[in-house]
Structure 1
Amino acid sequence: MPAISVPGKILITGANGFIGLWVIRLLLQRGYFVRAAVRSADKGKNLMKTITAKVPEQAQNVEYIVVPDITAEHAFDEAVRGIIGIVHTASPMGIPGPDPQTTIGPAVTGTEGLLNSAIAHAPLATALTIPFRDALKRVVITSSIKAAIGADSGRTYTEEDWADYAVKEVEEMGRDVNSEYTYYASKVLAERAAWKSYEENKERVSWDISVTNPGWPTLDDPSSPATLATTPKLFYEVFAGNPMYTPLVVGLGHNFVDVRDVAEAHLKALEIEEAGGQRFILASEWHTWQDWFNTARDLNYFPKLDKGDPARANGVSPPRICTGEKAKRMLGISYRKMPETLRDVLDDYRARGWLAKYE
C-alpha cells in the first residue's frame, strides 16, 4: 500500500487524549491537515485553544468534528469523508468498573464502528471518480503494550505475543475479575476485532491497517494536576502529590516509552508503505519505580527520596519485558531514555509550581 504524504487530511480520534494531542502536533508540524474527533463542542473548543497555544502557525489547519458516542452505529460516517489517513487513539476512559463488559464492549464496538464507517464512507480509489492520491490509504490503531504481554515473567515479549490469558480470566471470573485483566482484555479484543474486520474486507478497500502497542508511561501536557489523565496522574501522585503511593509501587515495573516517540511512531506508521499489516510494540526500557526515584534523586529532584536497589525493592515484580526493536528497524524511530523524559517532565512540573512543597 503506497505511503501517504502531505498535504492530505488525517482523522484523529481521541484527539483530546495525551497521545492524540501529540500526534496532532507532529502532523501539523509536518504539513498535514487534521480533522479531530472530539466528544463535545466544548472539548473541540478546548482542543483548538491548546493547538493554538502549542503550534500557532499551523492551528488553522485543524478542524474538529463532534462524535458524542464512538460506540453508536454510524458514529464516524461523516468524520471519515475526504481523509487519506486515520489515527484511532480513542478508547474507554478511566478505571474499569465491576462489569467487564462496560469496558470491553465500548473498546471493541468503537474500533469496529470506525472501520465500518471507513469501509462504507471513506474515499475509495476508483478509476473513474477518485484518484488514489485522494483515497484513504492507511488506518493506524493505537492499542497497548498490555495486549502483547502474557502471564509469564522473566521472558521477552514481541509482536507475535498476545495477552490471551487476560481474556480467559475475564471469561472465567466475570464480575469478580481483577480490573487490570479487564483493561488488558479490552485491548486484546479490540485489536483482534480490527485485524478481523480488515481481513474480511481488504479486497473491497484501498487502505490497510497498522497497529501500535505503546508502553507506559506516556505522559501528557495538562493544565493542572486535577486534569491529568489516568496514567500520568499516577506518575504525578507518586512523585509529587501523594507520598502514600510510594511504598505501594516502588517494586512495580513497566516497559517505558516517551510520548514524543509514540507520536513519531504513529506518523511513520502512516507514511511508510511497509508498515501496512504490521504490529509495533513501542518500548524503550524496563524500569521499576525505584529506578525512577533513584534517577530523580540523581538529577537533583526530591533529595529526600530514598535511594534504593531496584532489585531489592519491596514487592519487586519479575520483569515481563517487551522489545521495541521492530519499530526501530521498520519505522526508523529511536527511543528516548528514561532520564531525559523524567527531567523534561519534572522541569515542566517545577515551572508550573507543582513541586514546590514536595522538594
Structure 2
Amino acid sequence: MTETVLVTGGTGFVAGWCIVELLNRGYAVRTTIRSPAKELAARAAVARGGASDDGLSFAIADLTAEDGWDAAMAGCDYVLHVASPLGGPDPADRNAYVGPARDGTLRVLRAAVAAGVRRVVMTSAAATARPPLSSDTVSDETMWADPDDPQFDAYRVSKILAERAAWDFMRQEGGTTEFATVLPGAVFGPILAAETLGSVRIIEGLTQGRPPVIPPLGFWVVDVRDLADAHIRAMTTPEAAGERFIAAGEFLWMADIARALRSGLGARGRKVPTRTLPAFILQLLLPFQPQLKPLAPLLGRQFRLTSEKARRVLGFTPRPATTTVVDCAESLLATTGPARA
C-alpha cells in the first residue's frame, strides 16, 4: 500500500523540493496551503522539479489557525513539518516570530499525534544548536542555543523556541508518534518558484550587483535537494527516531560565493561584485545603518559545526557548495530572466 506523507507549507522553497523527492520515490503526498488559490502555483513548482503531480493532493490549513489540521492529517503515515510562519508587527522585535512559529508547530504535532501518525520530522535550523560566540565550541546536536543570546535575530529566536516546545510536547504527549528534527544551514540551490526565495535572496542580490561591496559574512551551505533527501531519510531511518540532525555541507564566505558565481556564470555573472568590505569598516557604518545591526555579532566569524551525525546515521552526503550556489543562480536567471540579472 502506498504510504502518505503530509508536507506543511506546500508553496515553500524547502517544502517544494521535499514534495518533488517524495513523489519521485513513490509516496502519495498531501500538502497544506493557506488557500485554494495556491494550488496551481504548487503544482507548477512540482512540474519544474521534474515530478508528476498525479500523487499530490492538497489540504487547506494555516499554521496560525486551528481549522483544517485534523482533516489534513487523516490517513497520513508521516509528516514533514517544513513550514514556519513569519509574522509580527515589528521584525526588529526579537520575539516577533516566536508565537506564530511555536504555536503553529504545536498545532501540527497535536493533530499528528491525534491521527496516529508514525513519525513527524520538523525543519529547525543549525542556529538552534549554536553555542555562545565566546565559547569557541564546535556545534553539535547535543547543544541548545540560548534564545537570549544577542547573536540571534527574530527568525532564529523563533526557531530555537519552536523546536524546544516541540521536543517538550513530544516527550510529554507524543504517545506512539516518533519525532526527529533536521537543522539546516543556509539553504541554497535551484528554485521552483520565484515567489518563495527565502535565503536564496542572497544569491539573487549578488547576481544583480547587491551589495556593491561584499561584507565579511559567511554561511554553512546546504543544497535544498540534499536537505529534502535528509528529511526523507530522517523520516524512514529507524535509528533517526528521537534525534536531531545538523544538515550542512561546506562553509563559504560571501566572497567565495561571489567568486564561484563569476566563474560559473561567465558573462552572465558580470554584475556580481568583486570588492570586499573589511569588518572594521562595516562596524563603523553600523550606527548609521539600523538594518545591519543584527549582523554585527556575525561579522568575520566562521562558526564551527559538524554534520557527522547526519552523515553517519542518515547517509547524508552534501554536494559541493560551489555547485549549489551556481545551480541556484542558474535557476534564478532562468526564472527571472536576464533583465533582472
Q: Please, which of 22, 26, 33 is the counterpart of residue 31 of structure 1?
A: 26
Summarize deviations over 1:28-84 as a string: whole Å, max 9, x none.
01100001011111112321233245445x3111100001x3132354111111010
Give the structure 2 partner of residue 21 of structure 1: 16
Q: Does 1:266 align with 2:231?
A: yes
Give aligned-pair identity as a percent.
30
Summarize deviations over 1:169-198 as a string: whole Å, max 9, x none.
5xxxxxxxx8x5322211111001110011
Summarize deviations over 1:135-159 as a string: whole Å, max 9, x none.
x211000011121122326442111
Contact 1:214 1:257 in 2 (8 A): yes
Distance in 1, Cα, partners of 2:329 & 2:92: 34
Q: Does 1:152 align with 2:133?
A: yes
Distance in 1, Cα, partners of 2:155 & 2:305: 18
Give the structure 2 partner of residue 113 of structure 1: 107
TM-score by length of 1: 0.81
Distance in 1, Cα, partners of 2:273 & 2:99: 43
Q: Does 1:183 align with 2:185?
A: no
Q: Please, which of 172, 177, 191 is the counterpart of residue 221 of structure 1?
A: 191
Contact 1:214 1:283 in 2 (8 A): yes
Give the structure 2 partner of residue 253 of structure 1: 218
Aligned partner letter, 1:85: Y
Contact 2:248 2:307 in 1 (8 A): yes
Q: Does 1:161 align with 2:132?
A: no
Aligned partner letter, 2:78: G
Contact 2:211 2:273 in 1 (8 A): no
Distance in 1, Cα, partners of 2:280 & 2:189: 24
Unaligned 5+ segments in structure 2 are 283-298
Distance in 1, Cα, partners of 2:155 & 2:251: 20
Aligned partner letter, 1:107: A
Unaligned 5+ segments in structure 1 are 1-5, 124-135, 170-177
Q: Does 1:334 align with 2:317?
A: yes
Q: CA RMSD of the aligned region, Å?
A: 2.7
Give the structure 1 partner of residue 82 of structure 2: 89
Distance in 1, Cα, partners of 2:66 & 2:12: 22
Aligned partner letter, 2:108: L
Contact 1:217 1:257 in 2 (8 A): yes
Aligned partner letter, 1:194: A
Give the structure 2 partner of residue 289 of structure 1: 254
Aligned partner letter, 1:10: V
Distance in 1, Cα, partners of 2:94 & 2:36: 30
Q: Please, which of 45, 49, 73 is the counterpart of residue 50 of structure 1?
A: 45
Aligned partner letter, 1:232: V
Distance in 1, Cα, partners of 2:40 & 2:189: 22
- Name the CA shift for 1:105/1:306 in 2 (closer, same or farther; >3 Å): closer
Distance in 2, Cα, partners of 1:184 & 1:146: 7
Give the structure 1 partner of residue 2 of structure 2: 7
Give the structure 1 partner of residue 36 of structure 2: 41
Deviation at residue 286 of structure 1 after TM alignment: 1.3
Contact 2:180 2:241 in 1 (8 A): yes
- Name the CA shift for 1:311/1:13 in 2 (closer, same or farther; >3 Å): same
Contact 1:240 1:355 in 2 (8 A): no
Give the structure 2 partner of residue 76 of structure 1: 69
Aligned partner letter, 1:212: V
- Name the CA shift for 1:319/1:41 in 2 (closer, same or farther; >3 Å): same
Aligned partner letter, 1:325: E
Give the structure 2 partner of residue 65 of structure 1: 59
SS at match of 1:299: helix
Contact 1:8 1:32 in 2 (8 A): yes
Aligned partner letter, 1:345: C
TM-score by length of 2: 0.85
- Name the CA shift for 1:262/1:311 in 2 (closer, same or farther; >3 Å): farther
Contact 1:144 1:214 in 2 (8 A): yes
Distance in 2, Cα, partners of 1:308 & 1:347: 22
Alignment map for 1:287-326 (pairs within 5 Å): 287-299=252-264, 301=266, 302=269, 316-326=299-309
